[in-house]
Structure formats: structure tokens, C-alpha cells
Structure 1
Amino acid sequence: MMTSLFDQFMSPALLGIPLLAIALLIPSKLFPSPAPRWLNNRLLTLQGWFINRFTSQLLLPLSLGGHKWALVLTSLMIYLITLNMLGLLPYTFTPTTQLSLSLGLAVPLWLATVLVGMRNQPTAALGHLLPEGTPAPLIPVLIIIETISLFIRPLALGVRLTANLTAGHLLMQLVATAAFVMMSIMPAVAAITSLVLLLLTVLEVAVAMIQAYVFVLLMSLYLQENV
């Protein structure tokens, strides 16, 4: 019996209990905590260097008020990268291929940036809905368009993350299935297909990291508009 290609994106369950919660908790156990010593080991030093470099790069376009979000944005970036990379291992599950999880991360963070803008600078926050110098007849139309674009931002964030990872996983499965089927029929073509699969795997690793960075980068840009 042929199973659907999308079955790999179903949340796994054991004895009727969803295992998604376990997959979400695993990243927190993979990163070592700083030791109470004067000098850390090489792994902790490398981890600290990476976090400091990324945080400084992320805060470049943000004003001083947005620096309070450094811990949230950096933690989100590391968390998403870890989830995406673990999902590339065999016999694992990628939680970020679930639209509910992606939207569950995107909507509260986006709403927090909007509420920060409405609290700190309500005039400027509402001013984004109407560009300066707009002709009077176009004012109602532009306000409606800008309002729709504002509310579509979290949907675009979640769908972008889920769609890119889902498409990459599907393509890898299709190429792997083709290589396996042609192994006994056309070994040469199967070898070339396996090479393509290897290159596609490297590309998917890059996509897993880039999509996490894009998610956090767009969130920081939304934050910059409201601080």
C-alpha cells in the first residue's frame, strides 16, 4: 500500500501520546551551560563567540530601545536552527514543518512588537498605516492595504518557515526514492541521482540555517519599526 509523501510531516505519537513536546524540549539539553570556572573549555568558548557575533550583527539595525530584545531574538535563532538541523537526521521529526508551531512562534512575537509600538509611540505606529504625502482620494484605500499587510506579517513569517522546510524534505524524499528504485535498473543513473541527493542535503542544511536567520531578522525589522 502506498503511503502519502506528507505522512512524514505528521506529528509522531507513542501509545496515543504526541511526541512533539519531547522534540521541542531536546534543543535545550544539547547546549552546555557555562561552568563556574575562570576558563571555559573549547566548546563553551566557541558557543559564546558564536552567540556574541550573532547578537552584535542582529542588533546593528536596531535602535537602543530594541536591544532589550537581544536575549529573546538570540534564543529564538539558536532554538530554530537546532530544531531545523535535528529534523535532517534519519528517523527524526522536524517540528517546524508544522504550521501550527511556526504560527505559534510568529503571532505572539509579532503582536508583542505591535503592542510595544502602540505603547511607546502610538502616533508613529499608526503613522505607518498612511504614508506621508498621500493624495486625499487614496487615503481610505491605502489605510486598508497597509492594515492588511500589517496583519499578514505573522502569517507570512510562519508560512515561509514551514513551506521552505517542507519543500526541501519532500524533494529529498523524492530524489532518494528515485535513486533507490533505479539502483537495480540503471546503476549509473542511480549513482548520479545519489550525488544529486548529497548536494541537495548540503543545500537543505544551508536552508535550515538560513530560514531560521530570516525568521529572526524579519522579526527584528518589525521590532525596529516600533521602538
Structure 2
Amino acid sequence: MSLSFFDQFMSPILMGVPLITLSLLLPWLLIPNPTNQWCGNRLSSLQLWFSCNLTKQLMNPLNSNGHKWSLLLISLMVFIISMNLLGLLPYTFTPTTQLSMNLGLAAPMWLATVILGLRNQPTMTLGHLLPEGTPTLLIPTLILIETISLFIRPLALGVRLTANLTAGHLLIQLISTAIFILLPLMPMVATMTLMMLFLLTLLEIAVAMIQAYVFVLLLSLYLQENI
């Protein structure tokens, strides 16, 4: 009996314990702790360079009030990148292919930006629901459309991350299955397919990092509107 291609996205369970908990803890264990030495190792230097550049890129458009979110946003991006890349290893599970997991990350962060805007500048925040100079007859319709677009933001964040990672993993598995089938029949075609699989794996590594950056970048844009 052949298994479904979508079985790879099911959270594995060992002795009744879902292993997704280990998948969530492992990225934090891989991040090296800072030391008091002037010269750290190469991994610490690379981590510091990576964090400084990402922080500068994300915080430049924000004012000083938004800079308080830098640690939270950078930690979230490093966490998502680590989970995405670790999920590409054989015999591993990618938690970010679960829509519930991504919505659990996106919804609280989006809600925090909205509450922050309503607390600090309620007039400007509510003003985003109605563009200036709108005809009177279109006011109810535009308010309804803008409200729907506001509440659909966390869903779009979660679905975007889930869809991109799921499509990449599924395509890799489909091509891998085709290689095993073609290898005894047409070795030359199987070899060419293997080269295409290697390029697709490189693309998936780039997608794993880019999608984490896009996830946090959109959150920073939502924060920019509310500070």
C-alpha cells in the first residue's frame, strides 16, 4: 500500500508525544550563547553580522518607538529560518508547513500591532479604514472592504508561508519518486532529473530564508502603520 505524498506533512508521534515540540525547541538549542570574550568563534561572528544587518534593514523605516520591537522581530525571523532549513534535512519534520502553527505566530503579532495603534493613535488607525476624499455613497462599502482586508492580514501571512513551503516539499518528493522509478528504466533521464532536483533543493533553501524574511517584513510594515 503506497502512502500519500501529503503524509510527510503530518506531525510524527512517538509514544503518544507529538515530535513537533522537539522541532520547535531544536532551533533555539542551535543558537550559540554570547560570551564575554573579545574574539568569539566564526559562528558567533556570523550570527552577529547576520543579526545586525537584518535589524538595520527592518528598523530603518520605523521611528524610535518601533525600535523596541527589534529583538522580537529578529528572534522570530531567526526562529522561522531555522525551522524552515532544518525541515529540508532527511527524516525531519517542518513545523511551518502546518497552517495552525503559522497562524499561531501571525495572529498574536498582528493583533499586537493593531492594539498598539488603537492605544497610541486611535484617530489615525481608524482613518486607514476610510481614504480621504471618499464619496458619501461609497463610505459604507469602503469601510467594509478595508475592515475585511485588515482582518485577513494574519490569514494571508500564515497561508503564504504554509503554501510556499508545502509546495516546495511536495515538488521535491514528487521529483525524488520519479528518479527512483526512472533509474532502472532510463538512467540518463534519471541523471538529468537528479540534477534538476539538486537545483530545486537550492531554490527551496532560498525560499525557506526568503519566506521567513517576508513574514517578518510584513509584520514590520503593519507595525509601521500603527506607530
Secondary structure of 1:11's aligned partner: coil
Secondary structure of 2:65's aligned partner: helix
Query: How far is 1:17 from its partner?
Result: 1.1
2:56 aligns with: 56
Number of residue pairs aligned between Structure 1 and Structure 2: 227
- Distance in 1 separating the partners of 2:39 and 2:168: 41
> Which segments of 5 or more consecutive residues in structure 1 lack a partner in the other structure?
none
- Distance in 1 separating the partners of 2:173 and 2:108: 33
RMSD: 0.7
1:41 aligns with: 41
Equivalent residue letter for 2:204:
E
1:102 aligns with: 102
1:164 aligns with: 164
Query: In percent, how many aligned pairs have the same letter?
Result: 67
Q: What's the TM-score once normalised by structure 2's chain length?
A: 0.99
Secondary structure of 1:64's aligned partner: coil
Deviations 1:79-99 (A, max 9, x none): 000000000000000000000
1:224 aligns with: 224
Query: How far is 1:144 from its partner?
Result: 0.1
1:147 aligns with: 147
- Distance in 1 separating the partners of 2:42 and 2:200: 31
1:25 aligns with: 25
- Distance in 2 separating the partners of 1:93 and 1:161: 15
Query: How far is 1:61 from its partner?
Result: 1.3
Equivalent residue letter for 2:202:
V
Query: How far is 1:198 from its partner?
Result: 0.4
- Distance in 1 separating the partners of 2:35 and 2:65: 31
2:189 aligns with: 189
- Distance in 2 separating the partners of 1:38 and 1:59: 27
Residue 77, structure 1, aligned to residue 100, structure 2 = no
1:120 aligns with: 120
- Distance in 2 separating the partners of 1:206 and 1:32: 23
> Which segments of 5 or more consecutive residues in structure 2 lack a partner in the other structure?
none
Runs ≥4 in structure 1, deviation > 6 angstroms? none
- Distance in 2 separating the partners of 1:199 and 1:32: 30
